[in-house]
Every structure is written in structure tokens, then in C-alpha cells.
Amino acid sequence: MPKDIGVPTTRGLKDAAVDYAYGAGGGVVYSLLSNLFGTGLIGGLATAALAGSIIKGSKGEILATMIGFNSIVASMSGAISGGDAGGSQEVM
């Protein structure tokens, strides 16, 4: 049995709850900033930089990395799916 799996402890539950709170706080910051700056390439960069600097330490670094990844994926999927905006429909 792997050593990383075990019986839940009070400390483990507390640490998980704190991590959840950081994630929820980062989500609120991201939501507010993305409404302000947008979700494109430049808006994603500004949002990641600001949110990562608001949440201090390694959790801020992780948040900035996740926001950067998500903004690029969203930008690329929008560029790919937005290439043909219904212009190929045939008219009788």
C-alpha cells in the first residue's frame, strides 16, 4: 500500500481546508480581474500576474501558472473554433 494514502487526520483536514480557502480566494480574485481585463492573451497575462502577486508564496505561483495555462487554452480554442463563423452554410 502506498505511503501517501492513509487515515485522515485533523491536521490533514485542516491543511486541505486551508488549501481550499486559498483556491476559493484565488478564484474570486481571478473572476474579478478577468472581468476587468478580459480573458484574451494580454488580459490573461495581467490577470495571472496580479492574482499571483496577491496570493503570496508558492500558492500564488501555482495560481499564476494555472491561470496562464487556462488563458492560453481558452485563447487557442477560441481561435480554432472561431475560424468559420457560420459562413459555410449553403443558400438555396
Per-residue pLDDT tens over the stretch 60-83: 898 889 888 888 887 777 666 655
Which grid cell sits at 87? Answer: 459562413
Dihedral angle at the C-alpha atoms of 33, 48, 28, 59, nearest 10 degrees? -160
| pLDDT single digits (tens) 18-56 | 989 988 988 898 889 888 888 777 888 888 888 888 888
- Measured between its terminal Cα atoms, the distance across the chain in Å is 66
